Amino acid sequence: MLITISQLVIGSVDLLAAFFLMFGLWRMSSPVTAPSGILLAGGAMVAAVLASFLYVFTVDAAARPDLPLNVGLAVGALVLGVGVAWWSGRKVAITAMPQAVALFNGMGGGAAAAIAAVELFSMKAHGAAALTVTLLGALIGSVSLSGSVIAWAKLDEILKKPLHLPGLQIFNGAVLLLALVTGGYMVFVTTGAATTLLPMPTLIEMFFGLALLYGIMMTLPIGGADMPVVISIYNAFTGLAVGLEGFVLQNPALMIAGMLVGAAGLLLTLLMARAMNRSVGKILFASFGPGAKRKQGAIKGSLKPVQASDAGIFMRYAKSVIIVPGYGLAVSQGQGKLYDFVKLLQAAGVSVKFGIHPVAGRMPGQMDVLLAEAGVPYDLIVQMADINEEFKTADVALVIGANDVVNPEARTDKTSPLYGMPILNADQAKKCYCVKRGDGKGYAGVVNPLFYADNTFMVYGDAAAVCVAMAEAVRGLGAPAAAA
Amino acid sequence: MSFQINIDGFIAIYLFMVTAFAGWVIIGRVPAILHTPLMSGSNFIHGIVVVGGIFTLLNASTPLERAIGFLAVLLGAGNVAGGFAVTQRMLAMFKPSGHVAAHHAKHGHAGKRAVPAAAKSAASKSTAAKSPSLKKG
């Protein structure tokens, strides 16, 4: 009776949880509904976790004597994990969000791999199909765990340089192949189609070791600018691993939530790769070093430096300004100062909008979050596809800490590594100010002809300092009495 | 009567197929401005793996299984709590124009709100212009 009731309750709660997790994501279609969406999903999650303790009524006979211990450990792990992660999630800086997401994602992958490990060690998975699914989830989860940790270390700048070794891709291929062979061999042994050469626990340990190693070696050669794609892929991987282990545990809520995230991660990955003009395969498997050196055609025009104060005052008397923020702005922590300047412009009746490239920052949409943190209302933040037509009629484009995403070569020069990448049409504005620390090239190592264009003026300096200088110059003009 | 859940091979594949499609459709609707919260939000959602971890730990019968099960619950709990904390924090930051002036923000759709929002932002602009000491970001 208790068994039936507990199964009924768990089944119903998990059904509702699966629905509300999907519905929570559904509400993310607008900044207005998104906050309530995540709260609904959070409530569903709490309910599912609480209901899962009803599994005490259906545990295996072998585990029954130690049940109090197991329950105690589960509560302890739950309290400890939630406590530490909640505290660090509350504390982490918004600029450090990509690292945090990578780390929390790695934990999920690790949890899925750990579940698979218990299934394997306890020999609970019966039959070739169940064992194969368990192993597949274990492989993907382990790769996601170790890969995410490396991604976290790279984003946190603990690991600074991408690793480039000759033959690394071949080595990685061999590691993956060996892991697959080990897994396949385990399936054959369990089904009796092959004899054991090594004891099963050794095989299991080997399998996990290889999978973890593969995750590390696969992520090490990937450069910092490709991280948006990498985080997104590992997110999809963890989802997939969770979904597969959900099948092994016969838990449809895990299957649904996992596969949902798997598909979501896949879609996001493809969107990111397209916005960066790179193929997913190249990012993951091409150890792209210094590629073929290309002779860039002579660039007409010259760099014309101006003072930040002059640029600020010019914008004060403009009608419309579109700001193109890039990662350089985030590096100098200038978002708040930039918004101070924007508020002064708005007070003077200037129409100001932010044009955001999909891969501005170190993870998709990071620039949007950084601007939101600085207090910029979301209706001023416009995505590339929606704002590109407006540059033609804008008086000023203010490019601040961005480079490749405004390089007009991407439209015209077929030999450019940027060719085909969608860019923000800052060059089409009547006047363009570019805030940069120096004459450096962008990540793609390409000189940007925009900086040399007739209507472009360079403002040299740290993005935050330039914003302060521009704001001071505008304030120096006196109170804008005839506002609005 | 039993409520034991039994998902066999083909049913699982059907379930995966439908869910993957739903995920694709749901995520396709999310605007690029929310892609970071979306990523951390979907990160939070696969944290449901903690439920599987609890199931595994409760059924553990050897010290090894217990240790790995403990790890599963610990990591899963971290995934869930961390994912939720950062997502909720980020989403709370997205505010429309003029939210300082009018905090009772309970709108339906972005389109319906467009006109009053513009009016509010104009109002807040003029107040900010008149009394710079009052403005707050």
Is-contact B10 B18, C-beta < 8 A? no
Q: Which of B29, B30, B61 sits opposite A60 (nearest CB)?
A: B61
HSE of A23, CA atoms in CB hemisphere, 13 A: 14
Q: Which of A17, A268, A356 sits opposite B27 (nearest CB)?
A: A268
- Give me the sign of the Cα torsion angle A12, A18, A21, A24: negative
Mean pLDDT is highest, among A89-103, A180-194, B41-55, B107-121, for B41-55
pLDDT for the residue B116 = 43
A288-340 pLDDT, tens digit per residue, is 444 444 556 667 778 888 898 889 999 999 999 999 998 888 888 889 999 99
Contact B72 A8 (CB under 8 A): no
DSSP A201-262: HHHHHHHHHHHHHHHHHHHTT--GGGHHHHHHHHHHHHHHHHHHHHHHTT-HHHHHHHHHHH
A468 alpha-carbon distance from chain centroid:
30
Residue A295 tokens read as 């002779």
Contact A369 B36 (CB under 8 A): yes
Per-residue pLDDT averaged across A282-291, rounded? 58
Interface test with A, best of B51, B66, B115 (most A CBs within 10 A): B51
Nearest CA to CA, how far is A370 from chain B (Å)?
A: 9
A133-168 pLDDT, tens digit per residue, is 999 999 999 999 999 999 999 888 888 777 777 788
Is-contact A361 A329, C-beta < 8 A? no
A404 classed as catalytic: yes
The least confident of A186-195, A262-271, A284-293, A401-410 is A284-293
* pLDDT above 70: percentage of residues in chain A: 94
Nearest CA to CA, how far is B134 from chain A (Å)?
A: 13
pLDDT for the residue A454 = 87
In one-letter notation, the amino acid at residue B99 is H
* pLDDT above 90: percentage of residues in chain A: 53
Beta strands in B85-127 (DSSP E): none
Average pLDDT value over all residues in chain A: 87
Residues of chain A with C-beta less than 8 angstroms from the C-beta of B12: 247, 255
Is residue A385 pLDDT above 90, yes or no?
A: no
Tell me the C-alpha distance between A385 and B25, whole Å.
Answer: 20
Q: Single out the residue of A100, A173, A91, A182 nearest to residue A139, CA to CA.
A: A182
Q: Beta partners for A355?
A: A382
Nearest CA to CA, how far is A407 from chain B (Å)?
A: 21
Per-residue pLDDT averaged across A442-461, rounded? 84
Is residue A174 pLDDT above 80, yes or no?
A: yes
In one-letter notation, the amino acid at residue A295 is K
Residues of chain A with C-beta less than 8 angstroms from the C-beta of B58: 53, 55-56, 59, 63, 67, 70-71, 74
In one-letter notation, the amino acid at residue A352 is V
Nearest CA to CA, how far is A421 from chain B (Å)?
A: 17
Closest-CA residue of chain A to B68:
A114
pLDDT for the residue B86 = 95
Tell me the C-alpha distance between B85 and B92, whole Å.
Answer: 11
Is residue A425 pLDDT above 60, yes or no?
A: yes
Provide block-wise average pLDDT over 10 residues at a time, chain B (137 residues). Answer: 80 93 90 90 94 95 94 96 95 83 40 41 42 38
Q: Beta strand A396-400 with A456-460: parallel, antiparallel or unpaired?
A: unpaired
Interface test with A, best of B35, B61, B68 (most A CBs within 10 A): B35
Contact A479 B129 (CB under 8 A): yes
Per-residue pLDDT averaged across A234-253, rounded? 94
pLDDT band at A350 (very low <50, low <70, confident <90, very high): very high
Which letter, b or e, does each residue of A153-183 get, where b requires 16 or more Cβ atoms within 10 Å of its Cβ? bbbeeebeebeeeeeebeebeebbebbbebb
Q: Single out the residue of A175, A275, A265, A270 nearest to residue A219, CA to CA.
A: A175
Residues of chain B with C-beta less than 8 angstroms from the C-beta of A108: 43, 46-47, 49, 75-76, 79, 83
Residue of A226, A340, A368, A404 marked catalytic: A404
A21-66 pLDDT, tens digit per residue, is 999 999 999 999 999 999 999 999 999 999 999 999 988 888 888 8
Please, which residues 416-455 of chain A have a Cβ atom closer than 8 Å to chain B? none
- Helical (H) or strand (E) element with A381: strand A381-383
Closest-CA residue of chain A to B115:
A379
pLDDT for the residue A63 = 85
Residue A406 tokens read as 């405004």
